[in-house]
Amino acid sequence: MVKMIVANWKANPQSQKEAEVLFNGVLKGIKNIKNAKIIICPPFPFLDVAKKFKSKKIILGAQDVSENTSGPYTGEVPPEMLTSLGVKYVIAGHSSRRAGGETDQVVNAKILNLLKFKLIPIICIGENNRDHEGAYLSFVENQIKNCLMGVTKAQMKNIILTYEPVWAISSNKTREATKEEFMEMKIFIKKVISDIYDSKIAHSIPILYGGSVSPINAKSFVEEGKADGLLVGRDSLNAKKFVDILKSLN
């Protein structure tokens, strides 16, 4: 089964030249990769890097989008602009955006805006801390319900969810997440989706894992944890490590 592997470069690298080197390094390393849908999400200034290499093996994604359409919104990047650059997927609600104050309601507005312009949202959900009483389950359930408010059954076929436990992300990691923890959350997320929509939609929606993904743990999250794909942060900035993640799933 083809797995979706998303590279989130975040605010890296520092120059267009470095972005080209990184993109080309990945491109050279994936010639024999067959079982992965590879999506690279550079920062906005480097979105046109993909055009230079014209690869059919890499799909272009973006890290964020405005909740507004084009108009008098200084500094905003609306979905129409992303579409014109060949972007197909867009990360919505990443934990670093939420840490900066982005609410579920803002994420929801962005998701609806993306769907309006036929872009596919990769929606990040996940708790900041995992308590022993299980309150994190209610937290994630509320995130899902809030973010999907107004999304129709028909639109759900274009939704991707990523479970991203904030406590396992490299920038503020307290410990590694386990494949068992992901599997538990995947089952729980599908139950929430089933309650909102129906079991058919819950069964079909892809659920990725994101949180300090590396060449060491990627295979276990996919094969044993049953992740439908991975959101890779830090190790997507090293072409060899990112390709090694892909090879481990091949």
Give the residue numbers annotated as catalytic, written as ranges.
94, 164
SS3 207: strand
Chain centroid to Cα 34, Å, comes to 20
> Could you count the other beta carbons within 10 Å of the beta carbon of residue 69?
14
Paired sense of beta strands 36-41 and 3-8, if any? parallel
| Residues across the chain | 250
Report the run of H or E that residue 7 belongs to, with start and end.
strand 3-8
Query: Do residues 7 and 213 make contact, with C-beta atoms less than 8 angstroms apart?
Result: no
Count CA within 13 A, CB hemisphere, residue 51. Answer: 9
Cα distance between residue 15 and residue 17, in whole Å: 5
Is the CA virtual torsion 97, 99, 100, 105 positive or negative? positive
> How far from 74 is each of 78, 81, 82, CA to CA, in Å?
11, 14, 16
Residue 232 carries which side chain, given as an amino acid letter? V
Identify the CA nearest to 214 among candidates 240, 238, 241: 241
SS3 194: helix
SS3 111: helix
